[in-house]
Structure formats: structure tokens, C-alpha cells
Amino acid sequence: MEGEERVEFKPIPARDLLVEILSTSELMIDLAYASALFNDEDLAQNVVELSEKVDRLCHQLAMIIAIAARDKEDAEAMLGLWVLASNSDKMSDAATDVAYTVLRGLGTPRIASEAFEEVEERIGRYNLNENSILVGKTPKELALEGKIGVDIIALRRGEEWIFNPSDVVLAPKDLLLVRGDRESLSAFRSIASGELNEFKVPQLPPLREEEAKTPEEKLGSMLADLVDLAKLSVDQAHSSFLYFNPDIAREVEKLELLVDLLHTDLELEAIKTGREKGIPEKKVLGLLRLALAAENITDAARSIAEVVLGGVRPHPIVEQVMRETADTVFMVEVKEGSKVTGLSLGDLNLEEMGLRIIAVKRGERWIYKPTPSFVLKEGDIVVVSGYKEGRENFEKMVFSKIKEA
């Protein structure tokens, strides 16, 4: 079409393209839901622009694959690489749909914003005070992932957004977009404001569980579950692909079916609650779009897992890329005599390593989103997601054995 940028071949290594596609699409999911949480049109517009970038990268990768595939063996080897990239592109499209709910003024009910307070991995937005110990340092120097378990995924300086600002020197009045769990974000808030001058994660009291939820609160919890399950499915799909593990791939299929059912329940509940509580139709539509995006992300994750179930092993480039991206997914087995045997997840202080347990396989059963009180046993296979910096420390902890008297 007239006015569209023509795609031209550029001799960029497939590895570099795939790294950029994976990291950008995952970043977009966080940014998109953050734009909905804060109703930030500027941030939403940046998500749309990042989507265009992912499209261009995928076109470049498609041309590289077409040139590289000279015979049947090459084509089979490249299949997994393309499925991973193309479904990451679909995830970026889903993130763009979330951004458009903001840009088109659909808005979301208050319950949708509150739902993001229930998700396991959250996004916080904080202004940097001139007295903060963060000022004058780069995120790379601070290495917050290994200290308090947070990641600065973006910052706004004046009117400009800077994404993945690892080498940017932080300055007073920067608006920081930060990813982490509830306790880690609480620590970061105090550090950014200048109230706390050490990297320490507080022990917060557990969130109060209400015995009975209002229809609006129930709807918010359903949305939070959808977003959590969507992110979990992506982690699991990448894990199944990296380790060529059909077991985990089948669990991704089950997650996708669960999300389908939950999405249908949410749609029915949203229509009913909107009618009974007089929620404006545009806001109900905005809520439904957020939920649909979560399902689309899970559908893309299932497509990645299906490649594993089809017996297609990952190309060596894929394995290299997935081990080098900012977030890592890895598996460890709790062996006999391990120091972690008998410890609860809460005892491990995972948030300080920037890690979270996304699933544990015990015998033939998979346990998703295990709670802090979950106790590890010998033979457990633990699937961990988080930052590379914390992986080595966690593996040392798991593989260390109790010294005999």
C-alpha cells in the first residue's frame, strides 16, 4: 500500500533478530497492561510503535530463513525458530490490542485497575527523588534484580520514554516503570522516594482474603487470574521449547484450555455485572478486550508448545538466544540431601534473587503458582523464571548438600 515502508533485506544475524523479537514482545505485554492500569495514552502509543518494530524484525527473519533453508533438513531445523518468532509476534499483536483500548478511549472499570493489584508479577510507577541512592547510577550498575528482585523496564524523562534503560544514568524526576512482586515493589518505592537508603525487602503482611466478594471484585479477580495464567503459559511454553520437554508442553495445552473456560466465564460475568451495576458499555468492552488479549497470548504460547509435541527440536540458535535473554526460564531437580529439602518457598527469599517459582512437578502432578508456604521435597522438579543474575545463586542453593555430622 502507498505510504507503507518497504521491507528490504538486511544481512542481520538470525540470532540477533530473534533476541530482539523475544525481548521486545515480552516487554510489550508488561507495557500494554501498564498503559491500561495507569490509563496512559503516551505509553500505549509507544506499545503500538514497538509492535511495528516487531513486525519489521519478523519480516527480516523470514527472509533470512528463506535464504538459509536449502533442503529438507534445513527447513525442519528452521521450523522451530520461525514458530517461536511468529508466535512472539502474535503476542505483540495481543499487547497492541490492549494498548488500543486506551488509545480509543474505551477505558476500563475501576475493578480492572484493582485487578492488577492481585497479579503475581506487577508493574509499579515511581518518581525518582533527588535524595534517592539510585540517582547517578545506571540500572546495570545497581543490579536491582539480584538485590531486591525488581527490574526497571522503562523510564520517562521529560516527554521521552526510554525502554530497557540498563545503561541510562538515573536522574531526579525520572518516572520509572518497574516490574516485581508486591514486597519488592514496596522496597523500591521507599528507595526511589529517598525514605530507605539500603537494599532491603520488607516482610509485608499477607493480603486479606475476603470471605465473600462483590460481583465487581469477583470480575476483577477473574481478570487477574487470566493475566497471570497468560504470563505463566508463556514461561511454560518457552521452558518446554528450550528443554524439549513434552511433559511441560502438555501442561501448556491444559493451561490454554483453562484460559478458554475462564475467559468465557469472565465474558458472561462482565455482561451480567455491567447490566446490573450500570457500568458504561464502553468500559465493559474495554474489560473484555483486556481479557481477550490474555487469551490470545495463551493461544500463541500453545502454538509454541505444539511444536515440541510434534517432535521438532529447537534450532541451536534458539537455545542460545533463550539462554541469553534478560528473563530466563530454567529447571532444577531437588536431589537427595539438598539444603532446600524441607524448606518452604518463603524461606528461600527468592524475591531478593529476582526469581519466582512458576511450577513444581511432584511425581506425576504439576503444581502451578505454589504459595510461599509450599515445602520442597526430594525429587521435586522446579521450574523457575526470573533474571539471569539470580540463577547461579539459586542453583548453588539447590545443589548444595547438607553436611553430615
| Distance from C-alpha of 265 to C-alpha of 260, rounded to nearest angstrom | 9
The answer to whether 388 and 372 have CB atoms below 8 angstroms apart is no
pLDDT at 119: 75
The answer to whether 116 and 35 have CB atoms below 8 angstroms apart is no
| Distance from C-alpha of 52 to C-alpha of 366, rounded to nearest angstrom | 37
User: Residues 99, 216: one domain?
Assistant: yes
Q: Which of 291, 319, 347 is the last residue of a domain?
A: 319
Pairing verdict, β 327-333 and 365-368 = unpaired
Domain count, the chain: 3
216 assigned to some structural domain: yes
21 assigned to some structural domain: yes
Pairing verdict, β 327-333 and 175-180 = unpaired
310 assigned to some structural domain: yes
51 assigned to some structural domain: yes
User: Residues 224, 94: one domain?
Assistant: yes
User: Residues 53, 85: one domain?
Assistant: yes
User: Residues 27, 75: one domain?
Assistant: yes
User: Residues 143, 282: one domain?
Assistant: no
User: Residues 215, 292: one domain?
Assistant: yes
User: Residues 240, 288: one domain?
Assistant: yes
342 assigned to some structural domain: yes
User: Residues 379, 243: one domain?
Assistant: no
Write down the pTM of the prediction. 0.81
Q: Which of 319, 354, 379 is the last residue of a domain?
A: 319
CATH label of the domain that carries residue 187: 3.30.70.1450
The strand pairing partners of 153, in sequence order, are: none
User: Residues 227, 185: one domain?
Assistant: no
pLDDT at 204: 61
pLDDT at 244: 85
52 assigned to some structural domain: yes
pLDDT at 99: 95
Sequence-ordered list of residues with C-beta below 8 angstroms from that of 41, at least 6 positions apart, any chain: 35, 102, 103
CATH label of the domain that carries residue 230: 1.20.58.220
User: Residues 221, 308: one domain?
Assistant: yes
User: Residues 40, 128: one domain?
Assistant: no
User: Residues 98, 225: one domain?
Assistant: yes
Q: Which of 287, 319, 351 is the last residue of a domain?
A: 319
Per residue in 334-348, pLDDT tens?
988 888 999 988 888
pLDDT at 368: 74
pLDDT at 203: 65
| Stretches in the chain below the pLDDT threshold 50 | 1-3, 404-405
pLDDT at 1: 40
Per residue in 10-32, pLDDT tens?
778 888 888 899 989 989 999 99
Sequence-ordered list of residues with C-beta below 8 angstroms from that of 152, at least 6 positions apart, any chain: 139, 144, 165, 176, 177, 178
Range of the domain at 334: 326-399
